[in-house]
Amino acid sequence: MSKIIGIDLGTTNSCVAVMEGGKPKVISASDTGKNTTPSVVELAKNLVGDVAKRQMILNSENTISSVKRLMGRRFEDKEVARTQKMVSYKIVSGKGGMADVEIGGKTYTPQEISARVLMKLKKDAEKYLGETVDSAVITVPAYFDDSQRQATKQAGEIAGLKVERIINEPTAAALAYGLDKKKNEKIAVYDLGGGTFDISILELGDGVFEVKSTNGDTHLGGDDFDEKIVDYIAEEFKKENSMDLRLDKQALQRVRDAAEKAKIELSAAEEVEINQPYITQKDGQPLHLTMKLTRSKFEGIVSDLIAQTIKPVEDALKDAGLKASDINEVIMVGGMTRMPKVVEEVKKFFGKEPNKSVNPDEVVAIGAAIQAGVLAGDVKDILLLDVTPLTLAIETMGGVATPMIPRNTTVPTSKTEVFSTAADNQTQVEIHITQGERPLSNDNKALGRFVLDGIPPSPRGVPQIEVMFDLDANGILTVTAKDKATGKTQNIKITGSVGLTDEEVKKAQEDAEKNKAEDEKKAEQIKAKNMADAMITTAEKSIKDAGDKAPKEVVEKVQDKVKALKDILETGTKEDLEAKTKELSDTLSEVGQAMYGAQGAQPTADGSQSTEEPATASDAESSQGKDKKKDDSKVEEGEVVE
C-alpha cells in the first residue's frame, strides 16, 4: 500500500507532509525548495505555485488565487461578492447556482482549480518519496459546511487522490501537538494566516475532538500587517523627502521586500535597520531609504490589527459557553503567530502560555500527516521508538568509563568493541557496566559486573576481548564478552536497572554538568597516566627485543628515562607525565632505528595503539588469581548467564 499524504489546502499557501519512520516530515516544493506553495493557479500554461504568482500582475484575469473562498459556496453568497472585489478573475454563477470561475470564456469549478494545487503537491510528494501517491488526508476550516467539505473532497478526487478523510484544521493542529493523548481537555486554536483569521474552540473526550465553536475574520492576515509597515515606511520617507514611494512601482516593490524582511527580523531582534540605497531620485539627485524600526514601534503600528483578533476569540468562547480560564491548551497556527506581541496578547487573554513549538506554517499539514499515518497504520504505540536517556559504558584502565552506547541513541541498538588486557599474563578481565554521563566509572551507577577468565597468558595488549552491548526495545541490556583466541564467552542480562525514572535521569545529567570541569581534569590525568604506563611497557619490551642490537649507551638512556617516568607515575601531574612520556618516546625511537627490521610485529609495539584501546581490567585484577574469590562473588551479583 502506498503512503497517505497529509495536505493543508490553504487560502494563501498550501503545505504537504508525510509520515516517515514514524515521524511527520514536511515535503518541500520541488521547484523552489520551500515548504509551502502559494495556492495560485494559471490555467492556460498550467502554472501552479510560485511560478504562477510571478506572472500574476501581467495575467491577473487568468490567474486564480484565494479560490478556497469560493469552495462549495453559492454565487449569491456574501463571501463570494466580497471575494470578487479583491480578485481580478471573473466569478460567475455555475451549475446549480454555485460560484464558478470564468477564464477565457470557459467556466471552471473551484474544485477544478484547487485540484491543480493538489496535483502539484501530489507530484512533489511523489518526487520526494520516489513512489506513487494515491491517497490523502485534506484539512478544511472547522466552519466549512457539508457542501464545502464535499467540494474539497471532489477537488482531491479530480487530482487523482482518494481522500481518506477530511479533517478540521484546528484538529490537525491539536494532533501535531499530540494533544489527542490527553484526556478531556478544552483547546483553543488561534490561527492567524496570510489572509484569514480563525479561532476554534475544541473539546477533547475519549480521543475525539469536538468543535464547540468557531469564529474569525475572513479578511485579516499577515498581508494586512505587511501593508501597515509599507505605509509607515512610505509616510516617514514622504515626511523627509516629500516623495511618495508608493507611486513608483519599482520603489514600492523594494519597500515591500524591506517591510517583510523587517517584520520577520523583528520577531527575534528588538530593532532593525531598513537600508535601501538609491531607492528613487529627486531633481537628478539619488535618495536613499535608511531608517530604524524598533519592535515597540512596529507593535504600535499593527496594534489595532492584533486587537481585531480578540473580539472573535471572546465570541467563540461565549458560543462555546466557556470562560478564558476554562481553556486547558492554546495552540498557535499561521505565520503571523511568530510575532511576539501576538503571542503576548493571546497569553494575556487566556492566562496561559500558548503552544508554539511546532512551525506554525506547517503545523496543520503535520497534523494531517499524523492522521494519515494513523489510517495507514504507520502510527502505532507499539512501534514508538525510545531513546536511551543515559550513556551505557564499560570500565577501562584507570577507572575510566568508556562509552559503548551514548545517551540519546535510539533503541533497539547494539555495539561491539574489542578491548585488551592491562598487564602481562593477565588471565581474566572484569567487565564492569555503568550508566551515567560522568567520565569515571565510580561516579556513575553500576549496573553489573562479571568476569571473563581463562584467557591464555600473553603480553598486555595482545588478547582480544570482544565486548558487545545489546539494548533491546524494552530496555533490557545484554552484555557479552568473548575471548577471540579461545572463543570463551560470558554474558550478563540486566533488566530493570536500565530504566530510570525521569528524576533519576535528570539528576544524573545535572551531576554530569555540575562536575564537568573537574571530571574532565581527572579523566585527562588518568589518560596521561595510562599513556605513560603504556610507554613504559613498550620501552621495556623494545629493549628486551632489541637485545645486543641496540647500542649500550642508548639502552642506558632509555632505562634512565623509564625510571624517571616510573618515579612520577602515581604522583606526577598531567603535564609532567606528558613531558616525561614524550622524552621517553623520543629516546626510544633511537632504539627503534637500531633494531629496525629485526623487530617482530607485536600489537603493543606502538604505545599509542594500546592506549587508544584501553585494557578492560583495572590494576587490581591484573595479577593472576589475585582476589579471585572477590571476583567470583561479583559474577554472582551480576546475574551472569552462561
In whole angstroms, the minimum distance from the beta carbon of 3 to another protein comes to: 9
Q: Determine if 101 is a binding residue for another protein (CB under 8 A).
A: no
Q: Is the CB of residue 458 less than 8 Å from the CB of residue 604? A: no
The DSSP letter of residue 425 is: T
Contact letters for another protein, residues 67-86 (x by CB under 8 A): --------------------
632 a catalytic residue: no
- Assigned C-alpha cell, 543: 629493549
Q: Which residue in the set 97, 178, 205, 286 belongs to the binding site for another protein (CB under 8 A)?
A: 286
Q: Determine if 231 is a binding residue for another protein (CB under 8 A).
A: no
Q: Determine if 20 is a binding residue for another protein (CB under 8 A).
A: yes
Q: Determine if 130 is a binding residue for another protein (CB under 8 A).
A: yes
Q: Is the CB of residue 15 less than 8 Å from the CB of residue 36? A: yes
**Sole window of 52-60, 65-73, 332-340, 518-526 interacting with another protein (rule: CB under 8 A):** 52-60
Considering beta carbons, is residue 137 or 343 the nearer one to another protein? 137
Residue 41's contacts (CB-CB under 8 Å, 6 or more residues apart) are 47, 48, 52, 63, 64, 65, 67, 113, 116, 117
380 a catalytic residue: no
68 a catalytic residue: yes
Phi and psi, residue 300, nearest 5°: -65, -40
Q: Determine if 537 is a binding residue for another protein (CB under 8 A).
A: no
Report long-range pairs for 234-237 (Cβ below 8 Å, ≥24 apart): 236/291, 237/279, 237/289, 237/291
Residue recorded with cell 555495539: 415
Which has the closest alpha carbon to 114: 133, 139, 135?
Answer: 139
Total number of residues that touch another protein (CB under 8 A): 30
Give the separation between CA 485 and CA 292, rounded to whole angstroms. Answer: 74
In whole angstroms, the minimum distance from the beta carbon of 270 to another protein comes to: 21
Determine which one of 3, 8, 153, 224 is catalytic.
8
**Sole window of 16-24, 77-85, 199-207, 389-397 interacting with another protein (rule: CB under 8 A):** 16-24
In whole angstroms, the minimum distance from the beta carbon of 57 to another protein comes to: 4
**Sole window of 373-381, 461-469, 517-525, 544-552 interacting with another protein (rule: CB under 8 A):** 373-381
In whole angstroms, the minimum distance from the beta carbon of 239 to another protein comes to: 23
Q: Which residue in the set 51, 564, 568, 579 belongs to the binding site for another protein (CB under 8 A)?
A: 51
Residue 183, judged by CB atoms within 10 A of its CB (0-12, 13-18, 19+), counts as exposed
Q: Which residue in the set 21, 96, 207, 600 belongs to the binding site for another protein (CB under 8 A)?
A: 21
What type of residue sits at position 399? G
Phi and psi, residue 169, nearest 5°: -55, -50
Q: Which residue in the set 16, 26, 40, 47 belongs to the binding site for another protein (CB under 8 A)?
A: 47
102 a catalytic residue: no
SS3 for 22-43 is CEEEEECCCCCCCCCEECEEEC
Beta strands in 221-284, from DSSP E residues, in sequence order: 271-282
* Active site residues per annotation: 8, 68, 169, 191
Site residues, another protein (CB under 8 A): 20-22, 33, 44, 47, 51-52, 54-59, 61-62, 104, 129-130, 249-250, 253, 277-278, 286, 377-378, 380, 382-383
